[in-house]
Chains A and B, each alone.
Chain A
Amino acid sequence: MAKLRTRNHKVVLARSAGGDAGITVMLTLLGAFMFLPMIYVVMQSLKPLDELWMYPPKFYVMNPTFANFKSLFSLMNISWVPFSRYIFNTVFTSVMGTFGHLFIASLAAYTLAKIKFPGGKFMFKTIQTSLMFHSTVTGVTSFIILSAFGWIDTYLAIIVPAWGSTLGLYLMKQFMDSHVHDTVLESSRLDGAGELRTYWIIAMPMVKPAWLTLIVYSFQGLWNAGASTYIHSEQLKSFNYAIGQITAGGIKRAGASAASTVIMMLVPIMVFIFSQSNIVETMGSSGMKD
């Protein structure tokens, strides 16, 4: 290795200045395309009403104000069902759906990844295949099944199907495949621990990034869930739905509407900021091998 062109023991990779410049330009243009609309959302929410309806419209805000957020909160106070109820609905379904999913899916993921048993491969193949279609395809028949259980218009219609989410199980299983080593499990079994104990005491602590990923994915899905076709009662509806309703009131509520968009997007973005490194680590083993 000593004869290579090295700088601080690192091989100098083939990189041209022109390529670097080209990539920087491309990245800046794409970044502007992605980022400017997000900035505009924030700008809109800080504009006083006269700036929202100004001609010609300005991209940036001249006299930033939190008036829109204030009017959003006062609109929340006069809603027919108390707003705390909508918040409770979203938090309750998110928490129940997410934790049920985490336990049930990780238990199955451990079994499929680390125990060889007849039918296991087939089960995982089926789950992997189901990643290939969007759940809206089966919306109508899911409705029929849920109504056969008598779950329409109850929390169960939101929570229980969330436990069976496919992507979460898939990511957890792949992560266990590459991060939990068989030798560690073997020694635990030799010490006399049963499979359940091995799963809980040995395997689970080794896959914390995957837990967090499952939690974030499940939470994001439930947080962004709008009006569900399975829920009719006003007092069972989600925060996202309610906030859409109160801000759909036309010109007068344009300010509050802009403020609500900012609140709805800030939560998932904050969650992602804190979990990013763990999620990316989990994605490292997301690959499909066949």
Chain B
Amino acid sequence: MSNRTAEKKAVARKDITMAQWIWKEMKRNWIAYVMVAPYMLIFTIFTIAPVILSVVISFTNFNMLEMPDFVFLDNYIMLFFDDEIFLTACTNTFIFAGIVGPASYLLSFLVAWFINELPPKIRALVTLIFYAPSISGQVYLIWGTLFSSDSYGWVNATLLNLGLINEEIAFFKTEQYVMPLCIVVSLWTSLGTSFLSFIAGLQGVDRSLYEAGAVDGVKNRWQELYYITLPSMKPQLMFGAVMAITGAFGYGGIVTALCGFPSVNYCAHTIMHHLEDYGGSRYEVGYSSAIAVVLFAIMVGANGLVKKILSKVGT
């Protein structure tokens, strides 16, 4: 079968044009199109179409009730020049994602690396401990209890006891504490898919490479990490980065659950919150679509940038 296919291709390339050849290949593989059709249809309708629709609507002032008017760049101009809260949201988003993304990536990798040489049973247990917060739904609300604003909160009570403070601190209502706390809680829930991917990647590194490295004079585990481990698991590092970046922009729910909406003085207001505010509560769909397009561009841009950086690892 494979021989015949190769012959066909060779013949086809000689006496017909590229377009004809593609058409022939498409007809020969018609079953493939039938097989991907159900998934691609749903994927197109619920993932691709919403993106395209967002871009189109972002040039209008659609409010779900009346027919949309075409307003070209008005929404974007208002967003960047007239909406101070949006600019706060941008700054917060970059701070938040800029810390949580890299920190969760690093944490995931370090923990996976630390536990790599433990016996399998212990490794499975430690994996569970680190992974559990990311799959346990709203369990992060426990941080709200620990840092509760009254003296029944464990942190406040302890600080009062030690005489470090004189009255309770409303941690999630005080500007200077909100961002750092939300970042810590987000990190706590961030050892997810990329963490598992790193564990698997480290396990998959060919052991004979390490032995060869030891012979070639690798002196310590840091050299081993840099010269052997990292280059061998580059595909996992890429995948983990995508997961970490996408995740880093998606922790808005934690902020809302812990600090309420909007957070004090918009001090932890991110683009995601701004989007939900205009799209979900105010029905200004045109404007919220413009916000969505900006956020989309930031996410895909960040991914592209990080992929470029990672492609240089170990080369």
Interface residues of A (CB under 8 A from B): 4, 11-16, 19, 23, 26-27, 30-31, 33-35, 37-38, 40-41, 44, 52-57, 59, 104-105, 107-108, 110-112, 115-120, 123, 126-127, 129-142, 144-145, 160-161, 163-164, 166-167, 169, 186, 189-190, 194-196, 199, 220, 223-224, 226, 229, 240, 244, 261, 264-265, 268-269, 272-273, 276-277, 279-284, 286-289
Contacts and interface: CB of A to CB of B under 8 A. Distances in A.
Contact of B35 (A108, A133, A141, A279): A108
A11 B292 CA distance: 54
28 contacts: A11-B214, A11-B215, A14-B220, A38-B139, A41-B142, A56-B157, A108-B36, A115-B29, A118-B22, A131-B246, A132-B242, A133-B51, A134-B272, A134-B299, A137-B54, A140-B54, A141-B57, A141-B289, A141-B292, A142-B50, A145-B45, A196-B31, A220-B135, A261-B139, A276-B124, A279-B196, A287-B235, A287-B239
Tier of interface size on chain B: 35 or more
Contacts of A186: 1-2
Contacts, number: 302
A31 B36 contact: no
B133 interface: yes
B129 A31 contact: yes
The 7 A-B pairs of least Cβ separation, nearest first, read: A287-B235, A138-B50, A108-B39, A265-B136, A164-B42, A283-B200, A140-B279
Contacts of A144: 53, 64, 285
Contacts of B300: 129, 132-133
Nearest to B160: A56
B32 A117 contact: yes
A280 B138 contact: no
Contact of A289 (B45, B235, B246): B235
Given A133-B296, A167-B193, A261-B142, A287 B136 contact: no
Interface stretch (B74-82, B87-95, B143-151, B170-178): B143-151
Most chain A CB neighbours (cut-off 10 Å) among B136, B160, B288, B292: B136
A4 B141 contact: no
Contact of B50 (A141, A167, A280): A141
A163 B40 CA distance: 10
A71 to B, nearest CB: 18
A269 B204 contact: no
B138 A226 contact: yes
Contact of A117 (B33, B38, B210, B249): B33
B219 interface: yes
Contacts of B237: 287
B299 A38 contact: no
A140 B288 contact: yes
Given A44-B142, A133-B299, A139 B280 contact: yes
Chain A binding site: helix, strand, loop or mixed by DSSP? helix
Given A57-B152, A112-B36, A288-B238, A117 B25 contact: yes
B227 to A, nearest CB: 12
Contacts of B142: 37-38, 40-41, 44, 261
B196 A117 contact: no
Given A31-B129, A189-B1, A288-B235, A13 B210 contact: yes
Contact of B138 (A117, A194, A261): A261
B144 to A, nearest CB: 11
Contacts of A223: 137
B211 interface: yes
Interface in B179-218: 188, 191, 193, 196-197, 199-201, 203-204, 210-211, 214-215, 218
A134 B246 contact: yes
Nearest to A134: B250
A4 B215 CA distance: 8
Nearest to B135: A268
Nearest to A59: B154
B135 A138 contact: no
B137 A265 contact: yes
A16 B221 CA distance: 8
Given A11-B211, A27-B115, A59-B154, A240 B272 contact: no
A5 to B, nearest CB: 8
